[in-house]
Structure 1
């Protein structure tokens, strides 16, 4: 039996950042120096990543959006300061913008095992995401929530797209990170699963087949966290500014809250065709909010901002309960005026070239 839901769900965020040479824009392997220089408690919460040219900065568990904003800004400012001392720029870009000259994994037995198991795709250049954790009482409910999120996450993906540039060129995609990560097994849309036992059977089969190294390599866009009593949503690129991250986190908390209450009430999740869900994610990665998005529920394309408006209206009660509605409304108004991270990167690229774009991204990281 699932425990009762609290009125307000907790939220926490993990943000991955590139460490770039301020002169060349190339990824540089100074993560250990950056992490060692962080003040407590930020250092205790933060983690090394798969590549030594990346760091992951992590918040504590939060309830209020203001608290989350403060922790994100503190993390980013401390990270930028210690990165600068190590000769790097802490940069919130979702994909490697220039080059990864040192493709070896960080010096860690697990990372070496991943490289051995997955072969050439483990050598792909670094990508950075924003992972939002929302507290739920148990794994049974977390599985049902993830299934209910299948049709909604392409909208979040489009909103959070922030990786149009890869290895020196505009890819034509809003989220190259999502395109690149599609090469990995057990990464992509969460499958339609109805119970924790379904989830465990599926994971066990993937491990037994060799497609997945172990259960920590469940890397679907949503998943029950392997470490915390949360639903972890992994779809977003790392966001340019802390305010963008808070907007994404508030929307995801609203979605999880809405899905959890529907599941707790015994309402079944719609069975969406995998082909349509996959196509909706590809569409979102390709265009962001500049155009139409495929609705996997109806199978039809619609203007991207209509999809955003429908999502916000549907989760409105959850946003109000958490005190996030005004924040979300103002944040979406800002994105509509200024564009997504991907759209803004493209404008900067046209106006200032790649060096100017990367310098602006690094400067905005601490705004």
Structure 2
């Protein structure tokens, strides 16, 4: 799925950037809402062409679906819907529901990891942290020319990633109740030592030295455990943005992917113009991400350019204004405006879940709606 082959040099005219998406889903018992450890059965039930675009995940109640490389959002949407519907059919055949939600909503009686040597090593190293209930994210890959560019892009993305995170919040529930956080997934993941805001790096060599030092320290087992919110891919010439909860609908995912691609394209324009990334205080960056996870789009976000708290939708408007040339270049502006208008009206995934609860529904009502929304065209 990962974009990158044939990437254009930054010295050339502004390129059209390729993109792809990885989506993680929960398998839930349709009667109880609990996590169901049946990923093996569900993956085995996928048709052969789709099976090659699927992966087992850390938990046996999770599966991941991986899109092929796309150049347009309409193409990406078709692939997302195709993969989600195939996975949902296989999940139902395994006696479960496929649900796009960012964190375990009820409980996970079986917290054993998938039977993979790397996952077993992680369990031994991190103990109870590795046995937390499942969390599901959406990772957007955008093709860039080389690793040096990827590292510099990640530096420039830091002020904007809390805004992306706030738009994609989709995990307010834990143990069957509202946590008060729009993205409980984000809070839960803070216990992992190699996860969080991307540090600032001078260049790719600085990045590599830091990762090597973290592996030697035991904080990471290997380069694949760089779980920062944006990172150069370990295997492909892409920037991977991994700050978002898995999105409830394909249109939410398309919005996320379109904005991330436009951000990366805009940053590459800035790099071509010789602009340097701001050196932000790490404590403020962490505070901005906590605020995004807590409030989502329902309150204030920290504007990392000024250090001030501002209404969330004002920062979204600033983001769209900043990336409009890139959205126009990719013919995405109208679609992004349409999807943002929808989210303004209907709310984020977290807000939509809370609306069901406020109307008197229970957790099972929320999960039934989410299961339908996961595959809605």
- Common fold by TM > 0.5: yes
Q: Provide the residue aligned with 1:263 in structure 2.
A: 271
Task: State which of 102, 119, 125 in structure 2 corresponds to 1:94.
Answer: 102
2:242 aligns to what SS in structure 1? strand
Task: State which of 348, 359, 367 in structure 2 corresponds to 1:358.
Answer: 367
Query: Where in structure 2 are there 5+ consecutive unaligned residues?
Result: 1-8
Is the 8 Å Cα contact of residues 42 and 58 (structure 1) preserved in structure 2?
no
Q: Provide the residue aligned with 2:126 in structure 1.
A: 118
Query: Where in structure 1 are there 5+ consecutive unaligned residues?
Result: none
Return 279-288 or 263-272, whichever deviates more.
263-272
Is the 8 Å Cα contact of residues 3 and 137 (structure 1) preserved in structure 2?
no
Structure 1 CA distance, aligned partners of 2:207 and 2:15? 27
Structure 1 CA distance, aligned partners of 2:124 and 2:13? 42
Structure 2 CA distance, aligned partners of 1:99 and 1:341? 20
Structure 1 CA distance, aligned partners of 2:264 and 2:13? 11
> Mapping of 1:174-323 within 5 angstroms?
174-323=182-331
Structure 1 CA distance, aligned partners of 2:218 and 2:40? 31
2:47 aligns to what SS in structure 1? coil
Return 32-41 or 135-144, whichever deviates more.
32-41
Is the 8 Å Cα contact of residues 169 and 182 (structure 2) preserved in structure 1?
yes
Is the 8 Å Cα contact of residues 14 and 269 (structure 2) preserved in structure 1?
no
> Mapping of 1:49-88 within 5 angstroms?
49-88=57-96
Q: Provide the residue aligned with 2:357 in structure 1.
A: 349
Q: Could you list the per-position Cα deviations for residues 250-274 of structure 1 after superposition, in whole angstroms to 9, with x for gaps in the alignment?
A: 0000001111221233211111111
Structure 2 CA distance, aligned partners of 1:52 and 1:355? 21
Structure 1 CA distance, aligned partners of 2:234 and 2:273? 25
> Mapping of 1:141-152 within 5 angstroms?
141-152=149-160
Runs of 4+ in 1 over 4 A off after TM superposition: 1-6
Residue 150 (structure 1) shift: 0.4
Residue 3 (structure 1) shift: 6.6
Residue 167 (structure 1) shift: 1.6
Structure 2 CA distance, aligned partners of 1:211 and 1:42? 35
Residue 193 (structure 1) shift: 0.9
Return 1-10 or 259-268, whichever deviates more.
1-10
Is the 8 Å Cα contact of residues 24 and 63 (structure 2) preserved in structure 1?
yes
Return 2-11 or 31-40, whichever deviates more.
2-11
Is the 8 Å Cα contact of residues 10 and 268 (structure 2) preserved in structure 1?
no
Structure 1 CA distance, aligned partners of 2:236 and 2:324? 26
Structure 2 CA distance, aligned partners of 1:52 and 1:266? 46
CA 1:326–1:26: 2 relative to 1, 3 Å: same
Task: State which of 79, 86, 107 in structure 1 corresponds to 2:115.
Answer: 107
Q: Could you list the per-position Cα deviations for residues 294-349 of structure 1 after superposition, in whole angstroms to 9, with x for gaps in the alignment?
A: 11120100110000000000000001101110011000000000000000011112
2:352 aligns to what SS in structure 1? helix
Return 336-345 or 32-41, whichever deviates more.
32-41
Q: Could you list the per-position Cα deviations for residues 147-169 of structure 1 after superposition, in whole angstroms to 9, with x for gaps in the alignment?
A: 10001000000000000001211
Q: Could you list the per-position Cα deviations for residues 50-102 of structure 1 after superposition, in whole angstroms to 9, with x for gaps in the alignment?
A: 00100001100000111000000001100111100000000001010011111
Q: Could you list the per-position Cα deviations for residues 89-134 of structure 1 after superposition, in whole angstroms to 9, with x for gaps in the alignment?
A: 0000101001111100011111101111111100110000000000
Q: TM-score, normalization: structure 2?
A: 0.96
